[in-house]
Structure 1
Amino acid sequence: MSDTYIIEVSSQAAGIVVRDPEGFRFFAASHRFNPMDGQIFRNAREAERAAFQFAQGAQQTVTAA
C-alpha cells in the first residue's frame, strides 16, 4: 500500500494525502482546497470523497450567489 496519493477533482489536483501515524494527512495543491489543508482521513478514498464534496459545496455557493 502506498504512503502518498494525489487527490484530483474534475481532473484538477486538489491536493495530496500522506500517510502519518494518525491516518492520511491532506495537503492542498491549490488555494481552492486550503480549508481542507491538514485534515486527517482514515484512507485516501475518504480524502477523495471529502475533496469532491467540498468542491461541490463551493460550486453550489458560487451558483447560488
Structure 2
Amino acid sequence: MSDSYIIEVHDEAAGIVVRDRGGFRFFSSDSDFAALDGSLFRDPRAAELAARHHLEGDHRRSSRS
C-alpha cells in the first residue's frame, strides 16, 4: 500500500492523503475542500467519500439560496 494518494471528485483534484499514525491525513488542494484539511481517515477511500459528500452538501446548500 502506498503512503500517499490523490483524492479526486468529479475528475478534479480535491487534495491528497498521506499515511499518518492511525490512518491517512487529508491535505486540500482546492478551497472547496478546506474544511476537510487535516482530517484523519481510516483509508483513502473514506477520504474520497468524505470529499464527495462535502462537495454535494455544498451544492445542495447553494442551490437552495
User: TM-score, with normalisation over the residues of structure 1?
Assistant: 0.97
5+ residue gaps in structure 1?
none
- SS in structure 2 opposite 1:52? helix
- SS in structure 1 opposite 2:50? helix
- SS in structure 2 opposite 1:2? coil
C-alpha separation between the residues in 2 aligned to 1:47 and 1:17? 8
Q: What is the number of residues matched between the two proteins?
A: 65
1:6-45 alignment, distance < 5 Å: 6-45=6-45
Q: CA RMSD in A?
A: 0.5
C-alpha separation between the residues in 2 aligned to 1:8 and 1:44? 11
5+ residue gaps in structure 2?
none
- Residue 49 of structure 1 aligns with which residue? 49
State the Cα distance separating 1:21 from its structure 2 match. 1.1
* Stretches (4+) displaced over 3 A: none
